[in-house]
């Protein structure tokens, strides 16, 4: 069984493919709460819950370079396997010839890999995490690029830092187009501005592509925003891990 690990700017996400080949069981651990023992314990719990006796491989991707060695050492120490590191230069199944991939995040490519493998057609992938990214793949499997804007929490933090009278808030699910207090105004503004961006981006990209793309949404903040999106979207909680799993399967061929 292969352990899938994604190191993001906020969370470490670990997963395994379940007996149902279309499902990935996973957990998240805040980067700030990481210890080797804590991570190993949660991985063991994941294995126990899914009746897996032993790990045979590990695939790891990271957008935080300084954490790669630490997490790799943890996996080696507790599970006696050396992780395979996936980067933006790995062969992920997308054609990257139309994009300068020198510093593109491997997380963006892995999500697009999973999306394109799922639909085999033009796709738009929104990943709502520390940053909100929009990523576009055309119908021939070319990664075209996209946009990056601050994520929901970052928007809240920037407002609180730059405006003395505005409080920092925890993002909530309820939004109103006319907020009746400052906290609601901030929360609603962040949610609706992100949703408005997504709604308009889909329209613009469909126009550029000349076809209706399949739209995916993923990331830790996606559930807050998806009720306000007008288009048909496919919510995939573990899209990035799905991409890692596809890469893992390619290595076995």
**Catalytic residue list:** 107
- Which sign, positive or negative, has the C-alpha torsion 198, 203, 206, 211? positive
HEC states along the chain?
CEEEEEECCCEEEEEEECCCCCCEEEEEEEHHHCCHHHHHHHHHHHHHHCCCCCCCEEEEEECCHHHHHHHHHHHHHHHCCCCEEECCCCCCCCECCCCCCCCCCHHHHHHHHHHHHHHCCCEEEEEECCEEEEEEECCCCEEEEEEEEECHHHHHHHHHHHCCCCCCCCCCCCCCCCCCCHHHHHHHHHHHHHHHHHHHHHHHHHHHHCCCCEEEEECCCHHHHHHHCCCCCEECCCHHHHHHHHHHHHHHC
């Amino acid at each position: 069984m292969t352990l899938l690990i994604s190191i993001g700017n906020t969370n470490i996400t670990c997963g395994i493919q379940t007996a149902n080949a279309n499902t990935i069981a996973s957990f998240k651990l805040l980067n700030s709460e990481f210890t080797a023992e804590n991570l190993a314990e949660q991985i063991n719990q994941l294995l126990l819950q899914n009746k897996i006796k032993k790990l045979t491989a590990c695939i790891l991707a990271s957008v935080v370079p300084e954490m790669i060695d630490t997490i790799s050492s943890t996996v080696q120490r507790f599970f006696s396997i050396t992780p395979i590191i996936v980067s933006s230069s790995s062969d992920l199944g997308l054609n990257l010839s139309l994009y300068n991939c020198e510093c593109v995040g491997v997380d963006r490519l892995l999500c697009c890999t999973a999306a394109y493998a799922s639909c085999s057609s033009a796709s738009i992938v929104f990943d709502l995490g520390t940053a909100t990214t929009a990523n576009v793949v055309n119908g021939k499997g070319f990664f075209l690029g996209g946009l990056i804007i601050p994520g929901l929490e970052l928007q809240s933090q920037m407002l609180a830092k730059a405006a003395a009278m505005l409080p920092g808030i925890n993002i909530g699910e309820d939004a109103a187009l006319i907020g009746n207090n400052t906290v609601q105004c901030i929360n609603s503004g962040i949610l609706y501005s992100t949703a408005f961006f997504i709604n308009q981006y889909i329209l613009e990209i469909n126009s550029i592509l000349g076809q209706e793309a399949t739209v995916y949404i993923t990331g830790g903040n996606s559930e807050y925003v998806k009720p306000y999106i007008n288009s048909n979207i496919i919510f995939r909680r573990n899209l990035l891990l799905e991409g890692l799993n596809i890469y893992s399967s390619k290595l076995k061929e």
